[in-house]
Structure 1
Amino acid sequence: MTWSVLHNIGIIAYAISGAFVALQANYSFIGIFVLGLTTSYGGSIIRNVVLDIPVSNIWERHSLLVVFITLTTLLFIKRDWIHHWNRWGYFFDSIGLASFAIQGGLLAKSLNHDLGIIIIASMFTGVGGGMIRDLLAGRTPLALREEIHAVLTFLCALCIWAGWNSPLELTIIVIVIVLIRMLSVNNKLKWQRPFKQSH
């Protein structure tokens, strides 16, 4: 049940994140759909390949595809929402990162893998979709520019390996990860503004 909830949260958050990036690149509706889809499911596909699990398993929740299509359609219609990227885009990306990294670690642990595989599963699930999204948008993946991504997925994996698997504990992990990531983003933006103004 907990894994399912995290999976749903991650897919919705990453779908919104991917759609925001597509809007930034001024893509068509198909572009918004493709970036949202690859952001939501790309990491899970890579993880399943690494763990030797059938990739078709990630398509079991048909209701989520309906939600996904609805979200991308709304974002396409309301293109002016792109102006809120700096405020909300990183937030949804952070939620997706946390929830996907956790559920990747949970899946690896449920298969009785050791810490190394749990870390790999968390990392690929957490940042894989975002990396594919950025490559399709023609920009350097955030995960390759900011070490914080790898650190946070590593932290998620350690918590899962240590036995943090109750709904309360997993919720705390998500909140802490999102807070750390957003603090990192805010500090980065604060440093960028004076630099741009000086030029």
Structure 2
Amino acid sequence: MTQRFCVLTYVYLIAIAAEAMSGALAAGRRNMDMFGVGLIAFLTALGGGTVRDILLGNFPVTWTQHPAYIYLTICAGLFTMLIARFMHHLHRLFLLLDAMGLIAFTVIGCNVALQLDYSLPVVVMAGITTGIFGGILRDILCNRTPLVLCQELYASVSLLVALLYLGLRHLGVDEDINLLASFAAGLSLRLAAIHWSWSLPVFSYEPGRWDS
């Protein structure tokens, strides 16, 4: 394994741990028991890759070949129960880790689809699915509107990262430079969106509102 993919793997491990902890916090807000916390943590961290593999027919599903991912995500979720009272002090760190995870998941998802020789639109959607679907599963199971689709730029950051990464790859840019540029652009955009509350226009439909 080359050095760049080792780095990407380390970022991925940090990201799934952070995502697992965010899932645990969401479960805690819904007063779930330990099993519920562990389950939501697991699905939040690994749900995006699972959905991607199922949609692409990429079997066996990635985490089934790496049991350590299961231990890491569930333990991270349960550990969150012990340190929950201190989590508000780590809010900014979690935002940074989450942004890094979004980019890492997106790039990894794109590479999985590329290795399976899918066309460009499928590759892009595979990257986005990997990046955001864990959060969607978390919010659905916690009975709330998926935050990745209605707050600061998030899913659109995944889209732009996928397009940038694939565009630079198509131009023959060195993979190390490509990853650095994709991470820099994605992190900058996501953190700027959080700081300045950037979001896409919202569609709000109320039956009867425009009826005469």
Q: Which residue of 2 aligns with 1:197?
A: none
Conserved in 1, the CA contact under 8 Å of 2:47 and 2:134? yes
Q: How does 1:142-157 map to 2 (within 5 A)?
A: 142-146=147-151, 148-157=153-162
The structure whose Rg is larger is 2
* The one of 95, 114, 132 aligned to 2:100: 95
Q: How does 1:15-164 map to 2 (within 5 A)?
A: 15-84=20-89, 86-146=91-151, 148-162=153-167, 163=169
How far apart, CA to CA, are the structure 2 residues paired with 1:142 and 1:166? 32
Deviation for aligned residue 1:155: 1.6
Q: Which residue of 1 aligns with 2:192?
A: 183
Deviation for aligned residue 1:6: 4.9
How far apart, CA to CA, are the structure 2 residues paired with 1:90 and 1:31? 23
Conserved in 2, the CA contact under 8 Å of 1:45 and 1:55? no
Gaps of 5+ in 1: 190-199
How far apart, CA to CA, are the structure 2 residues paired with 1:165 and 1:34? 39
Deviation for aligned residue 1:168: 4.5
Q: CA RMSD in A?
A: 2.5
Q: Which residue of 2 aligns with 1:166?
A: 175
Percentage of pairs with the same residue = 25
How far apart, CA to CA, are the structure 2 residues paired with 1:47 and 1:165? 26
Deviation for aligned residue 1:75: 1.1
Give the length in aligned residue pairs.
189
TM-score by length of 1: 0.81
Conserved in 2, the CA contact under 8 Å of 1:115 and 1:157? no
Give the 3-state SS of the residue equivalent to 1:78 in structure 2: helix
**CA separation of 1:30/1:147 partners in 2, compared to 1, >3 Å: closer, same or farther?**
same
How far apart, CA to CA, are the structure 2 residues paired with 1:133 and 1:96? 15
**CA separation of 1:46/1:114 partners in 2, compared to 1, >3 Å: closer, same or farther?**
same
Amino acid at match of 1:69: I
**CA separation of 1:82/1:26 partners in 2, compared to 1, >3 Å: closer, same or farther?**
farther
Deviation for aligned residue 1:5: 4.0
Deviation for aligned residue 1:126: 0.6
How far apart, CA to CA, are the structure 2 residues paired with 1:100 and 1:119? 12
Gaps of 5+ in 2: 199-212
Give the 3-state SS of the residue equivalent to 1:148 in structure 2: coil
**CA separation of 1:8/1:168 partners in 2, compared to 1, >3 Å: closer, same or farther?**
farther
